Amino acid sequence: MNVAVIGAGVSGLTCAVLFVERGDRVSIFADEIGSQTTSAAAGAIWFPYDCEPREKVIAWALRTREVLVDLARKPDSGVSIIKLRQFCRAGRIDMPDWACSLGATGGENEFQMEVPLTDTTIYLDYLRKRFGGEIKCAHLERLEDVDLAFDLVINCAGFGAKRLTNDPGLEPHRGQVAIVPKIDNVAGAIVCDDDPLMYVIPRAHDCLFGGTNELSEDRDVDLATRQLIVAECSRALKIDPPKVIEDRVGIRPFRKSGVRLERGKLRDGRAVIHNYGHGGSGFTLSWGCAKEVVDLA
């Protein structure tokens, strides 16, 4: 088949890899590539968060986890297994059932477990190289704008799907993070999800401080928010605030009725498979969803 994938974030790249590896001819069309995408702003830790529907999310996440655990054995992939400490400042934390079955341990207000981390500074390039095909820079007004030479269209447009498919259910869950130099003695990720949301994710060459989750489409960096993020993470680590190397803002594509993963038809009769609306879990669901897309094709 001639397959057109719309989107060069983690969802589009992962689908493109699977189609190419089963022998299809694939091109990616995207108006933002690499560091411009929401995917490049992610902490990209494996952890189901801010995404629906629950049962499907856990199944996709567990399938993805298996692939990421395998990829962690390849040094060039940017995937590693790290310890995650999830805690609440006040009150009890509920350890999810799936976390217990993956070996999480903990007490009243925290738990710990090993999770895959995809270092986006390496992993998105790894996917791009593994795909090996063409990424065409193009903004589409409608899915039907894809050249008729393609028989199948895969819609992985993230929040862009709101306009592309007129989907009123997509909500922009804005996230801002600050990237700081590597910090000594921080080997694992720390996440606190009672207010204010706070996470520290050590990566190969730097450390990611987060973060926010608010209803907004604004992609501009907010300097006051940066200051709050750095102050809260530094307080948790008991260090002086480090200098910020870079700020990133992304729009988590949250869909109230859940991830849209289904087959449909374009107005010109061609087949389309939608794969968007992964909210705060795009990396966590990437391989599970991409495999289902290929099954639907």
Where do contacts with ligand FAD occur on this chain (CB under 6 A)? Answer: 6-12, 29-32, 37-39, 41-45, 138-140, 156-160, 164, 175, 177, 210-211, 250, 252-253, 276, 278-284
- Secondary structure of residue 262 in the 3-state scheme: strand
For the CB of residue 144, give the shortest distance to ligand FAD in the complex, in Å.
12
Q: How far is the CB of 185 from ligand FAD (least distance, A)?
A: 22
Q: Which two tokens mark 16?
A: 């493109």
Judged by CB, which is closer to ligand FAD: 63, or 252?
252
Rounded to a whole number of angstroms, the minimum distance from the CB of residue 45 to ligand FAD is 4
If the CB atoms of residues 107 and 137 are measured against ligand FAD, the closer one turns out to be 137
Torsion over CA of 62, 101, 77 and 242, rounded to 10 degrees? 120
CB-wise, 143 or 297, nearer to ligand FAD?
Answer: 143
Nearest-approach distance from CB 97 to ligand FAD, in angstroms: 19
Please give the helix or strand (H or E) that residue 208 lies within, else none: strand 206-210
Q: Which is nearer to ligand FAD, 61 or 297 (CB)?
A: 61
**Which of 16/297 has CB closer to ligand FAD?**
16
Question: CA gyration radius for the chain?
Answer: 19
Query: Quick one: which of 4, 12, 2 has its CA closest to 276?
Result: 12
Q: Compute the distance between CA of residue 150 and CA of residue 3 in angstroms, rounded to an integer.
A: 6
Which residue type does 241 have? P
- Smallest gap, in angstroms, from Cβ of residue 164 to ligand FAD? 5
CA-based nearest residue to 87, from 199, 250, 252: 199
